[in-house]
Amino acid sequence: MTQALTRPPRKNPLARTRQATLPPGARSRRALGLTAAAAAGRFDLQVCQECNAVQYPPREVCHVCLSDRLSWQAVDPTGQLLVTTTLHHSNDLYFRERIPWRIGTVKMAVGPSVVAHVHGDCRDGDNVRLALKLDRSGQAVILALPQQATPNMADDKIVRETSCDPKFRRVLVTDGKSAVGLATIDALLAAGATTVFAGESRRWQVSDRFDILCTDERVQRQDLDITDSDSVERLSRSIGGKVDILVNTTGYEREGGILHNRNLGKAHEALDVNCMGLMRLAQQFGPAMASRAADGVNSAVAWVNIMSIYAHLNLASRGIWSASQAAALSVSQCLRNEFLQSGIRVLNIFSGPIDHEWEQLTPPPRVNPSAIAAAIVRALQDGVEDVYVGDIAQEFLARLHDNPKGLERELGA
């Protein structure tokens, strides 16, 4: 049984910070289909459309009939763990720092045999469940996990290396007074976060729930206005070296299109919060987080952006706001690549209309803030990159794959 993770001792401020190392990241272009599935939390393998053969590793043609009609499909992830071995030596620096490390061969129920990283609660001959996860280099790896949950399962060393679990970590929530921010603080505390830094930009706004949350010794109220470069810099100099996970819950949402809106003030405000604010946070907090990506159990691990599904397509009635969401998505993709060298994971949470004050006239279904908070924690624990929350976000994602031009026309109408 996996031993429960214990809270790490306070870091010696005089000790040298270990530089981050990454596992081998080279993959063929065809194998990036595994990475796409892992980033979305799916288990997909290549399936031949001619003979239905399932194959692994990924190839250009079917290993049975040589057809090139291969598609990535969800398959049964179960199998039998045939044999394991424990590595006590490695020529790779990343694994050398983490040995001993278990690997094993799994015979899948759908046919292929795969070599996987093995959870500590799995034994030779056990039936196991395979999962595709992203490693610190941002590439897909396969984990063999117990079919049924075991005590302290998420505390296994291999699982924690491929996740961003908030347990025993310190988290900055940029807007703790928003509906999503309040729910996120609750969810993070329930998930085991040791400290939540709750950003507050509107001191004039009375929030009894926020005040009650701040009575918890694990919650620390912080002055933070992401539209003010000095405010962001002051806070980063105060707590920047302590933040393990940053969750950007600050947002600006207003009605209005572009054609008949000649006052660009609204556009400046939307971009200042949704796009430039994200840049300010990244420039002040990003480098310190990247430098602490190898601090062990409580290392810096993740950056979370909460955006709308309209970052992928423009809602004409809120055209300016949609444009700022698209700009934020572009910034987030840049950050994902820049953080790649340190192993910090960038998570994007795409939501449908949220049940808060700026969506009062939007007809159901709307997304409850607690659902977004739960999705954030689950995404951190699963180590995925992109999450779509709510019926509308899920429907739009499917329709973007099926008929993006048709969806664009419907939204414009």
Instruction: Give counts: helices (H), strands (E), the chain.
Output: 12, 15
Q: DSSP characters for 94-136?
A: HHHTT-SEEEEEEEETTS-EEEEEE-TT--TT-EEEEEEEE-T
CB 277 within 8 Å of CB 235: no
CB 197 within 8 Å of CB 247: no
Per-position pLDDT tens, the chain of length 413: 788 888 777 777 667 777 888 898 888 899 999 999 999 999 999 999 999 999 999 999 999 999 999 999 999 999 999 999 999 999 999 999 889 999 999 999 999 999 999 999 999 999 999 999 999 999 999 999 999 989 999 999 999 999 999 999 999 999 999 999 999 999 999 999 999 999 998 888 888 999 999 999 999 999 999 999 999 999 999 999 999 999 999 999 888 888 887 778 889 999 999 999 999 999 999 999 999 988 877 789 999 999 999 999 999 889 999 999 999 999 999 999 999 999 999 999 999 999 987 777 788 899 999 999 999 999 999 999 999 999 999 999 999 999 999 998 888 77
Give the tokens for residue 395.
């429907």
CA distance 357 to 258: 23
CA distance 18 to 295: 7
Domains and CATH numbers, the chain: 32-161 (no CATH), 170-412 (3.40.50.720)
Residue with tokens 């607690």: 370
